Each structure stands twice: as C-alpha cells, then as structure tokens.
Amino acid sequence: MSLARAGNVVTITLDPNFPGDYHTYSYTVAGVTYQEYTGPYPAILTGGIYGTGTAVYLACFDINVETPVGTTYPGSLTPPAVLTGNLPPNVDPNTQLEAAWLMNQLSLLGGYYAPVSTSGPISMAIWQIEDPTSIDPAPFVEDPKAQPWVTAAINAVNNGWNAADASQHPYWSPDPGLSVQRFGIVELVDNSPEPGSFALVGGSLIGVGLLLRKRLASN
C-alpha cells in the first residue's frame, strides 16, 4: 500500500491505549528536564481511499493544541506544498516540505520502532518547524538535539527535496472550527506489527479525559 494516496473526507482516531502505546521522551535545558509524548503516534484513518479503517503512524504538528485520544475527528488529507500568499514574517514557505522530509527520515530510521533517542528529537524538530503555522503558536522550550534535524531538513529542501518527494507523507487537517492538532502520515502499518493492544481496543471505548497535546497528558 502506497503512502502517496492523499484524499479528502478522512477521519482520524488516535490509539486510545494511553499511555501504553505512546513514547515518552525527555530532554534537559538549563538544568530543567522536560518530558513529552512524541511520535510516531498509532492511529486509524477512515474514509476515501482508507476504506473502513487503515492503521497508520503519525507525526503531530501542533504542540500546544489539546486533542483527546480515542475520539474520531473529521478532516482531510492534502499533499505537502510550498506555502504561498501573505505569510507572516516568521513562517518559512517550505515548512510543509521540511516536516515531510523529517517524517521520511523517521520512517527510514524505524518509524514507530525507532529508538526514542532518535524519534524524540525528530518529533521535537517537526514541532519547532510547524509551530509558527499553528493555531496556537505559543513558544515552548526547544530541544537542543532537535536543532541539527531542523537544519538538515532546511538543507534537504534547498538541495532538491520537493513536493513530489514530500507527497509520500500527506498532511491531515481537521475540519474548520475544530481545535484539533494537524498530523502527517509517517507510514502505514502494512508491514509492521501493531502496538500491543491497538488492534484490540475500540476507539469508542476509552479516551474521555485523555489528551494529546505537547505531552499526551490526562485531564
């Protein structure tokens, strides 16, 4: 199954087995340690080309936006592209391409099963790149280990990583009016074992009070 299959009217349900199927990553800045639940996040996409449900691993883009797990949200998928129009001065037009390159690297390095020492900084780099375009672009303490990944993503786009390459990692955006994170598809689950209970627990069974934000924390 190819990842290059973006389509519209696609719902997303984040794996409700929190925190069991999510990765914890810690980093320290100025003597203070911060802990985040970082991607890839297991989820189900439904609708369009994804039929009645396709298991995927996702990266999230909005570190300050709360999103309950186990709840189904409507939205749509689009291929990453160069941003155009009247952009704020702090928004990089290549944001989506850079984030897609980072998702590609994460997939190549093991995806969901990559060491947290790798997936953590990459996830933090995606948040750092995407935060200026978020609906809540509040500053957050950046991980020093993420900066080399940010620099590498910028260099990759400058050296030819383009929209055709990035199309392998479509962007999911919630329907207008929903305060829900945006996500990108790191990879499908076709050839990977699923997290322990992901295939066994229905999204409607739990999730009340469980929040995915910059740290998938309980209410």
Query: Is 142 among the domain residues?
Result: yes
**Tens digits of residue pLDDT in 3-33:** 444 447 899 999 999 999 999 999 999 999 9
| 67 located within any domain | yes
**Do the domain assignments include residue 97?**
yes
Q: Which residue has the tokens 């055709």?
A: 164
Please check whether residue 4 lies inside any domain of the structure: no
Contact 79, 167 (CB under 8 A): yes
Among 122, 216, 213, which residue's Cα sits nearest to residue 169?
Answer: 122
- Return the minimum-mean-pLDDT range out of 66-80, 155-169, 182-196: 182-196
Domain boundaries, position 36: 10-212
Q: Is residue 217 part of a domain?
A: no
**Is 131 inside any structural domain?**
yes
Domain count, the chain: 1
Least Cα distance to 23 among 159, 199, 158, 216 occurs for: 216
- Stretch (H or E) spanning 157: helix 147-158
- Name residue 112's amino acid: Y
Tokens representing 79 are 């291929």
- Whether residue 99 is contained in a domain is answered as yes
- Across the chain, the runs of DSSP E, i.e. the strands, are 10-14, 23-29, 32-38, 41-46, 54-60, 67-68, 72-78, 171-174, 183-188, 211-212
Residue 2 lies in a domain: no
What is the tens place of the pLDDT at every residue in 130-185? 999 999 999 999 999 999 999 999 999 999 999 999 999 999 999 999 999 999 99
How far apart CA 113 and CA 106 sit, in angstroms, is: 10
- Whole-model pTM above 0.85? yes
